[in-house]
Chains A and B, each alone.
Chain A
Amino acid sequence: MFKGIAASPGIAAGKVFLYNTEEIRVSRFKIKVSDIPNEITRFEQALIKTRFEIITIRDNVATEMGIKHAEIFNAHLLVLEDRMIIDEVISHLRSQKYNVEYIFEDVLHKYIRVFQKMDDEYLKERIADIEDVGKRLIRNLLGKKKRTLIDLPPQSIVVAYDLSPSDTATMHRKNVIAFITDIGGKTSHTAIMAKSLEIPAVVGLENITENVRNGDIIIVDGTSGIVYVNPRRSILSQYLREQKKLEKFNKELQELKTMPAQTRDGHRIELGANIELPDEIPAVLSYGAEGVGLYRTEYFYMNRQGLPTEEEHYKAYRSVVEKVKPNALTIRSLDLGGDKFLSQLDVPKEMNPFLGCRAIRLSLARPELFKVQLRAILRASAYGKVRLMYPMISGMEELEAANICLEEAKQELESRKIAYGKDMEVGVMIEVPSAAIIADILASKVDFFSIGTNDLIQYALAVDRVNEKIAYLYEPAHPAVLRLIKNVIDAGHSKGIWVGMCGEMAGEPRFTPLLLGLGLDEFSIPAPSLLKIKKVIRSVRYDEAKRLVDEALTLSTGKEVEALVSKRFRDIIFKIVG
């Protein structure tokens, strides 16, 4: 039995595929002065070839796994094209007169040694990236082919000293059921990749590569960080039973994909997904989401200089709405400020940014900017069911001011003779306690509410959600929070509008019975949680959930509320949370 760091949860039993980190031996030999130009040319050609390889991998990863996973390769390009390294290599070539492979490796190692001494976990992990780039370049200098994980047999557990982004990018993903590595921590590339592939991983096992051979049977428990090599039959069968249970559960979840999100007594809920980028849509649809309940548009402004144009906004929104058809796409207008800033917008710093000029306040302070986005959203609404929602509305005047901007945006489009959907729904996010309290007033002016619990809880309980010292006070089931949510839902229903929720609370199975009982009409959650929430919804009865809420509302603390929920729905929630 080996114990390492649990990096990605789950259990897998399979055969070892030992992936040796290739030893690239670089020899050192003197060169003549007349060889120097030739060495520089070889270096330049290897740089070009390596650049091309990295770009190809980056684009493949972006297509298959999303832009976010591809960003690391942009960092690799920065390392590859680093001015200091290139200049140093060329000057050392001239002064030391050794072959360029040796010079390059020597220069790179000098940097790596500095990083190794740094007292910073994140920078230490980046050494793996620098080495990855370095090896790639040296391989190209030597004209060697890269070993890859393309030819993996099915059901392989990849055992390696470490896995680099280049290794996993070209890996035959369908055949990998787990990763285990000698080195690495919770933030290492192996851990991040395993989580996004939803396979178990244990890292930091120190010398596991020396203790297994190809074809050995191993069990990887990514939840506890334990690895068994050629386990006794009793342990293997126990784990296989565990794994079967998990698989059966996951299969049950998969079967829910096309089933409606409705309670046992037929109460139907709309279940949408939260997204940040258009390229998340295929994954979202594969989880059976009924549209998008929250499209965060901030990402759009990031990783770029200058601001996105109306055309860029419009193209992105239109591509998403066309893909989620006939379901709805709910676009939240720009929600910056608080802990999210942009350098393109010169926002003066504030003493108390969470209570400052953020979200809709910022948009209303910059109506020209706001209207660029509004026009794009309106234009996209001509191609499907688009809903617009304003973040951080705290009172009626803000809502009215935002709607005036929307009217102006419509008129601007009309004068340009550009079509837009005339019946686009407009709603507000309820995340400020004042808005929750006057929900009955706001309800008459909007088509829907979407409750943003992260901020609502933070403001209602006066708890900074990033301050670890007071994290224990952040209680979604706090009676004050439940009453605010109830007030919003009741107010919405009495004015005939629907009420959804797009905060984290909506994606946590332990709160699902409460939210159902409170009468929530729509849940919008991160795609990987969709089926779990659907499972809870399909396992409970609406009338039971309502009775639960009646009782919960008489309790005096969040802990009592949570205890009540787990008492009533223990079997259902336990099965899902595990």
Chain B
Amino acid sequence: MAYMTIEKEIVIKNKQGLHARPAALFVQIANKFDSDIFVIKDNEEVNGKSIMGILMLAAEKGTKVLLKAIGSDAEEAVIELEKILLKEGQDLFGFK
């Protein structure tokens, strides 16, 4: 399969931003893909497979982030991860 880079700019709609619960889910799902995954906010780039990295971004609802995946399953990864960022309302996943 082709090795590719997919980038997509996303405005976070998840009510809790990328805080603990959605962040844990994001990281768990990111880790299921072979591709390297990065989230970039205001020139700050973090590893999308790292809970600490994602939490450090402190990305609230309404924040614009760039989602980047590099690898054979990059396309699929961006589709799945975008879903979490765009989810409105209360998300039931994760931990609290």
Contacts and interface: CB of A to CB of B under 8 A. Distances in A.
Nearest to B53: A84
A303 interface: yes
Interface string A60-86: 000000000001101100110011110
Nearest to B55: A123
Contacts of A122: 19-20
A341 interface: yes
In the complex, which range does the number of interface residues on chain B fall in?
Answer: 20 to 34
A74 B95 contact: yes
Given A79-B52, A84-B52, A343-B84, A123 B95 contact: no
B4 interface: no
A72 B95 contact: yes
Counting from the closest, the 5 A-B pairs by CB-CB distance are A84-B50, A78-B51, A71-B95, A75-B95, A83-B50
Given A123-B19, A305-B29, A343 B93 contact: yes
A78 B55 CA distance: 12
Nearest to A74: B95
A343 B90 CA distance: 11
Contacts of A302: 92-93
Contacts of A342: 92
Contact of A340 (B28, B50, B88, B90): B90
A388 B15 CA distance: 33
Interface string B47-59: 1011111011010
A118 B49 CA distance: 21
A115 interface: yes
- Which DSSP category, helix, strand, loop or mixed, fits chain A's interface? helix
B90 A339 contact: yes
B92 A340 contact: yes
A83 B47 contact: yes
A341 B52 contact: no
Interface in A436-451: none
A34 B95 CA distance: 42
A345 B29 CA distance: 16
Contacts of A303: 93-94
Given A74-B24, A74-B95, A84-B47, 6 more contacts: A75-B24, A82-B51, A85-B52, A339-B89, A341-B90, A341-B91
A83 B94 CA distance: 19
B83 interface: yes
A82 B49 CA distance: 8
Contact of B88 (A78, A118, A349): A349
Nearest to B13: A349
A131 to B, nearest CB: 13
18 contacts: A71-B96, A78-B24, A78-B28, A79-B52, A82-B51, A83-B49, A84-B47, A84-B53, A111-B56, A126-B20, A303-B94, A305-B32, A339-B90, A340-B90, A341-B88, A341-B90, A341-B92, A343-B91
B52 A82 contact: yes
A343 B19 CA distance: 17
Q: Which of B24, B32, B52 has the most CB of A within 10 A?
A: B52
A95 to B, nearest CB: 19
A215 B23 CA distance: 43
A72 B96 CA distance: 7
A189 to B, nearest CB: 11
A87 B89 CA distance: 35
Given A78-B27, A111-B56, A343-B87, A85 B92 contact: no
A353 interface: yes
Contacts of B24: 74-75, 78
Q: Which of B27, B51, B96 has the most CB of A within 10 A?
A: B51
B83 A343 contact: yes
A123 B20 contact: yes
Contacts of A111: 52, 56
Contacts of A87: 47
A468 interface: no
Contacts of B19: 120, 122-123
Interface string A327-340: 00000000000011
A353 to B, nearest CB: 7
A349 B50 CA distance: 29
B46 interface: yes
Nearest to A70: B95
A341 B87 contact: yes
A115 B51 CA distance: 13
A307 to B, nearest CB: 14
Interface string A83-122: 1110100000000000000000000000100110010101
Contact of A298 (B29, B51, B84, B92): B92
Contacts of B29: 305
A87 B50 CA distance: 10
A372 to B, nearest CB: 19
B16 to A, nearest CB: 9
Contacts of B88: 341, 349
Contacts of A71: 95-96
Contact of B58 (A123, A298, A340): A123
Nearest to A301: B92
A72 B83 CA distance: 24
Contacts of A85: 50, 52
B43 to A, nearest CB: 16
A248 B46 CA distance: 57
A341 B89 contact: yes
Contacts of B55: 115, 123, 126
